[in-house]
A and B are shown apart, each in its own frame.
Chain A
Amino acid sequence: MTTTTDAPVVKTRGQRFTGAAANYIDERTSISGLVKELGRKIFPDHWSFMLGEVALYSFIAILLSGTFLTFFFQPSMAEVHYDGSYVPLKGLQMSAAYSSALDISFDIRGGLLFRQIHHWAALLFISSIGLHMLRIYFTGAFRKPRELNWVIGFVLFVLALAEGFTGYSLPDDLLSGNGLRIIDGMLKGIPVVGTWISYLLFGGEFPGTDIVARLFTLHILLLPAILVAALGVHLLLMVVNKHTQFAGPGRTNENVVGVPVLPVFAAKAGGFFFVVFGVIVLIASFFTINPIWNYGPYDPSPVSAGTQPDWYIGFADGALRLVPPGWEFVLWDRTWSFNIIAVVLVLVVFLGLVAFYPFIEGWITGDKREHHIADRPRNAPTRTAIGAAGVTFYAVLWAAASSDLIATHFKVSLEGVIHVLQALFFLGPIIAFFVAKRVCIGLQKKDREIALHGYESGRIVRLPGGEYIEVHEQLDDYERWRLVSYNDYQPLMLRPNARGRITFGQRLRAGFSRWFFEDRIAPVSRNELERGGHH
C-alpha cells in the first residue's frame, strides 16, 4: 500500500525505527491482519469479569515461580541424612526431595519466598477458578454458544486440582505423605483394578521410592502441558464468542459495549496482571504457607491430630468422613469397599452434573438462540436455586473435612458433628434450593414494583386530608432498563408429536420444564408501565 501525504512529515528516529520494525515483521508474518482484527476488539467491563483474569494471572505467577523452584528441587526419594541449616532436623534420615525442599526454604536466598509465592499463587489460582465458575454459572454465561467453553473451563478446574494435589505431595513431608496414603487407600478400594492401580502408581508397595519422581513429571510436564493447551483453547473461544456483557442501556444481544484492547484494555489488564502478582508476592513475604519443616519427613507411623488437606481437596476428604460405619462387604470372595466406592460415585456424579449443566438446561429450555447478555441471578430463579444447592452440597462436604476441628473448637462431640453433617448432606441442598428460589422471586417482585411505581424518595408529604404519604420517584429510562430487560421462559406444553404420541422424553422434559419455570415473574411490559404510571 502506498500513502500520500499533503505535506511531507518529518518522522523522528523513533518513528522511523518503529515503522521499519513493524514492516520487517509484517512482511514475514502478516501480523498486521492480527492487529487489525484484535487491536480494537471491544471488552465489556464489570468487576466480576476480573475473576477469570485473576485465575489467568496467578497461573502465570505459578509458572514463573515454579520454574525457579525446579532448579533447586530434587524429585528423588533416595535416603539422605539432612545436613542443611535447619537445626531441629539435622542428621535425620529423609528423602532427597524433602531435604532439597528444606534447602530451598533455609539455604537459598529467596527460596522460601518463591516456595510461598508458588503455594499462595496456587491457592489463589484454584479459588479464582472456583469463583469464576460460579460467576459464569449464576449469570448464565454458559449458554449457547459457550457450552463447550464451559466444559473446557471445567477441565481446567480439574487440572488445577490435579496440579495442586501433585505439587502438594512433592516435598515428601509427613502431611503430604499421609495425603498420598489416603489416595493409596482409596485406590485399593476400587473394585477389580484398584490394587493394581495403586501398585503400578507407587511402583510397588506403598510408599515405594518412585512416587515423588512420577508426581514431579505429572506436575511439571504432563499436567501443565495439557493445562496450557486447554487454556489456549479457552481464551481463543472467548475471543471467537466475544465476552458476555450485563444488560444495560445500549447493550443488546447483537453488540458489545466496552473498551478497546488497544490501548485501554491492554493497559488495564496488563496492569492488573502486575497487581495480582504483586499481591501474591506481598502475601508470600509475610505469611507462611505449608511449613514443611514443622511436619518432618514422611514416615508411615506418626501423624498429628487435626490433619487437614489443602482446602481445595477438602470436599473429597470430607465425603470420605461422612460414610456411615459398616459400608464394606465380602461377596463372591471379593471385598466391596462401598465406604470408598460410594464416595467416588458421589464425587463423579456431582462433578459430572457441573460439567454437563449447560446441556441439561439447554435441553429443558429448548432455546437454541445465542445468548450474550449475562443474566442477573435473580432473573433465573431455578438456576440460581440449583446453584445455591450445589454450593451448599460442596460446603457440607468441605465442612466435613474439618469435622474434628469443628468438634474441638466448639466443644461438641465429634459424632454429633458428623451426624449433623450427614443430615445436612441431604437436607442442606434442599433447604438452600427453596430459600434461594424464594429470595430470587422476592427480588424480582421488588424489581417489578420499582420499575412500575418508582422508588421511595424518603420525602413524606401531608395531604390536605391529613394523610401522610411517601412520594415515589420514577426511574429514568436507563435505570429502568436494567430491571426489565431479561429473558423469560414458560413451562413446556405437552403436545403429541407427528405420530400422535407423547413420548417419555417429552414427559420428562415437560416435568423438568415445569419445575424450572412454573414460578415465574414476567418482566414489566410497555403496557403495564403506561397503566402503572397513572396510579
Chain B
Amino acid sequence: MAQHEDGGDVGSAVEKSEPFVPATGTAVLSSDAIQNPGLPPHHERVTDQDPKKEKTAERRVITLFYLSIVGSVFAVAAYIAFPITPGDTGSVRLNTMLLGIGIALGLLSLGLGAIYWSKNLMRGDELTESRHLTRGSEPTRARAAEIMHEGNVESGFSRRTVLRNTLIGALVATPLPAVAIFRDLAPAADPVKLLEHTMWKKGTRLTKDPTGLPIKASDVTLGSVFHVIPEGLNDTEDRLEEKAKAAVLLMRLKPEDLKELPERKTWSYDGIVAYSKICTHVGCPVALYEQQTHHLLCPCHSSTFDVTNHCEVIFGPAKRPLPQLPIAVDSEGYLIAQSDFTEPVGPSFWERS
C-alpha cells in the first residue's frame, strides 16, 4: 500500500535511528554460502513461437466458453423438462443429476477455459517485485508515535488517571447486561431438580416403544428385549424431553443368571429386569443387546454394561451402571413400575452426588 506521510514535521519527535537490523537468533549466517544464480532464462511456449498453435489455443478457449453457455442453458432446460413426480424417487435422482451436470458443465468449462487462456495465451514469463520490511518506514513510525503522543497529551489520557480508570471501568461494565439477558434462554426452573426425576412412578405401566401398548410379563420370553416407554408418554406435551429420560430396556434372563443384590431382589420379576436405556457416559441410547453374553453396548462410545450384574460397566468410558427401574406385575398381568428410578438417569452432571 502507498505510504502517506501526511502532515507534521516528519520524524521530528524521535532522533534518527540506525537502519533496522532484526535479531538473527541462533541462525547460522555463513559468508561462504553459495550465491543465488539469478533467474533462469525464460523458455517460450509453443503458443509464443507458433502463430498457428496460438490460434488453435484461442479456438480451444472459445470452444470451452461456448460449451459453458451450452451447460448453463442445458441446466435450465433440465429443470423444466425433468420435474419431480411426487413419490417417485427416480425423478428426484434424474432431476438432481441432469440439473447438476448442466451447472457443472457451465462452471467447469468456464473455469478451464479461463485457466487455459491464462496459461497459454497471456504473458508467459514471470515478473519480479521487490519486498520491503513489513514494518513501516522509520519516518512513518516516528510520525505515528508522535501522533499517539499528541493524542495522549491533548486528551490527558495518562495524566488524568482517575478519569482514565473510570473510563475503563465503564467500558468493562457496559457488556454486563448483555450477559445477564441470556438467563431466560431457559425457563426459571432449576435444572438439577428436573434431572432427578422421570415420568415413571408407582403403577405406571411399561409400554412398547413407539406404539405405547402395554406389555404382559408373559410376553417377555427368555432372551427377548423390549424397548420400553412409560404409559401415556406419547400423549404428553414434552414427549421427547420425557422420553430422553424415561426410555427403558426390558430383558428376560434366566433367574439363575442374574446376580442380584439382596436389596434389589424385589426389583425384578421372574428374571425380567428393566434398566435405563440412556448411557451414563454422554447420554446415547444403549441400544445394542448381546443375548449370549447379556451385555448392553452403547454404539456411540462403546461403553459396555453387564445386565447380569446390575448393568455394571465392564468396558468403555462410562463410569456408573445403568440405573435400574424396579418393576412388578399388576392384577391383569401387565408389567408396571414400582416407583421412579432411585437415582438420576443419563449422563453425569456436576450437581449429582
Contacts and interface: CB of A to CB of B under 8 A. Distances in A.
A249 B36 contact: yes
Contact of A282 (B33, B100, B113): B100
Interface string A121-160: 0000000000000000000000001000000000000000
Interface in B58-107: 79, 83-84, 86-89, 92, 95-97, 99-101, 103-107
Contacts of A529: 34
A474 interface: no
Of the four ranges (under 10, 10 to 19, 20 to 34, 35 or more), the interface on chain B belongs to: 35 or more
B302 interface: yes
A485 B27 CA distance: 14
B244 A110 contact: no
Given A106-B92, A301-B277, A481-B36, A270 B126 contact: no
B285 A302 contact: yes
Contacts, number: 386
B353 A330 contact: yes
Contact of A264 (B108, B122, B183, B316): B122
B23 interface: yes
Contacts of B35: 526
B134 A241 contact: yes
Nearest to B86: A85
A255 B26 contact: no
Given A270-B114, A368-B22, A491-B26, 20 more contacts: A41-B129, A109-B83, A182-B284, A185-B346, A199-B191, A207-B240, A267-B118, A268-B115, A271-B113, A272-B111, A299-B240, A301-B209, A301-B243, A325-B313, A327-B319, A328-B320, A334-B351, A335-B351, A365-B25, A481-B34
A256 B30 CA distance: 23
A534 to B, nearest CB: 17
Contacts of B110: 271, 274, 278
Nearest to B317: A323
A325 B26 contact: no
A476 B300 CA distance: 59
B282 interface: yes
Contacts of A327: 317, 319
Contact of B241 (A193, A206, A527): A206
B131 interface: yes
B160 interface: no
A279 interface: yes
B227 interface: yes
Interface string B107-150: 11011111111110011001111110110000000000000000
Nearest to A191: B350
Given A116-B96, A199-B191, A340-B282, A487 B27 contact: yes
B38 interface: yes
A203 interface: yes
A273 B111 contact: yes
